[in-house]
Amino acid sequence: MIIKENFEIKNLTTYKIGGIVKKVFFPETQSEFSELLREQPDAIVLGSCSNILFSSNGFDGEVILTTELKQFEIRGTHVFASAGVKGPLLSQKTAEAGLSGFEFMIGFPGSIGGDVCMNAGAHGQSISDYLTQCCLFDKESKEIVYKKKDELDFSYRHSLLKSGRYILLHAEFDLKKGTPEEIKSLIDRNMEFRKNIQPSLAHPNAGSVFKNPEHDSAGRLLDKAGVKSFDLPRAKVWENHANFIVNKGDATSEDILTLMVMMYNAVKKQYTIELKPEIIFLGDKTEKEEELWNILSH
């Protein structure tokens, strides 16, 4: 297992933001991963870091990265995937096997652990649709447990894993058979949509900044509130979609939080709606960052 000390986490985040982490572990097997979780109960567990804002102040602790947990298997319609398997890869491989259900993941930079935790979804599909059970590490009992789909409390951008007690080791799915033409058509449509509506990772970003409020769209509210004009020296709201923030080059976590609060306040002032962050903020926060994050997450 690779272990790195004083590791610059920003190189692994899609925002390209984050300070020095004291120690980072890269487990390669499920047994290494679960053993680490027993030994390092306070470690932050991360996957693709695609919806993460990591503090530029760094983290004086341990991080476990699942990027080397790449094992997956397709047997008939049954799919097994370890926490670190990339969503786009699984989308591609299941499509090649004539299986439908993961087309929405083709443009997601996330991995299965994070996708299940946040019940990732798009275009009318979500990862919980075809999930049958999860193998989890229970941080309270320090044991490996299995939970069926109906025990995982799935809802919009939410699952039982959000509580922090459980960490995904692997997930199992039962997809449906589809024709190659239908699957390819859906994948192509999803790719085209993402290309037109969302910034590519050539413009460092962490996906949607805020969750959609019930029966509405965060992007619509932000657009109507005029946030597309918000442009700071090192970060800006993306001009093609108001629910994305782009790192212009050397932005800090404080820059992103400042912009998020500006966006939040604009919608609150115009619509009295308090948007909830979809981005997760981690690391050792400065006093200013704590203050900004408290506004967004109260």
Report, as residue numbers or ranges, the catalytic residues.
157, 208, 278
Structural element, H or E, at residue 132: strand 131-138
Please list the residues that pair with 99 across neighbouring strands: 177
Q: At what angle do helices 180-197 and 87-96 cross, to 10 degrees?
A: 150
151 vs 160: CA distance, rounded Å: 8
DSSP letter at 16 equals -
Non-local CB neighbours of 280 within 8 Å, separated by 6+ positions: 51, 52, 53
**Beta carbons of 65 and 26 less than 8 angstroms apart:** yes
- Dihedrals phi, psi of 72, to nearest 5 degrees: -150, 160
139 Cα distance to chain centroid? 21
Q: Which residue has the tokens 């005029």?
A: 226
Helix or strand or coil: residue 298? coil
Closest by CA to 238, choosing from 210, 208, 199, 192, is 199
Closest by CA to 240, choosing from 194, 293, 189, is 194
For the chain, the 3-state helix, strand and coil shares in percent, each to the nearest 5, are: 35, 30, 40
**C-alpha pair distances (Å), 280 with each of 44, 86, 90, 105, 256:** 12, 19, 24, 20, 12
